[in-house]
Amino acid sequence: MPGLLRGVARTAVVAGTATAVSNRVSRRQAGRWAQQEDQQQASQQAAAPPAAPPPPPGDDMTAKMDQLKQLGDLKAQGVLTEEEFAAQKAKILGS
């Protein structure tokens, strides 16, 4: 019986330590992510929205597709808002 009790106690200590370490890591990561988000928001507010790149020489349809793809990437990265994306898309498709 003492061996069983010792094993249970050891398991409880290991589980408690693992939980404490896991919680500490989670809090540290959450803090880092929040700091990164704050930095990204500050840089986005300071920077002017990028203009659509000029069309490369060649096939007009291919150039428009490339521009739309770049705009989609910028929107996915959070650089462009939905309104800016829609305005640039209309500008590309309208020309």
Taking CA atoms, 13 is separated from 1, 26, 31, in Å, by 19, 20, 27
* pLDDT at res. 59: 65
- pLDDT at residue number 5: 82
Joined tokens for residue 43: 């840089």
Give the separation between CA 55 and CA 67, rounded to whole angstroms: 7
Task: Please write the tens of the pLDDT for every residue from 39-87.
Answer: 888 777 666 556 666 655 556 788 888 888 998 898 888 888 888 888 9
Q: Is the pTM of this model over 0.85?
A: no
Q: Are 28 and 47 in contact (CB under 8 A)?
A: no
pLDDT at 51: 63
pLDDT given at position 16: 85
| pLDDT of 11 | 87
Per-residue model confidence (pLDDT) at position 61: 80
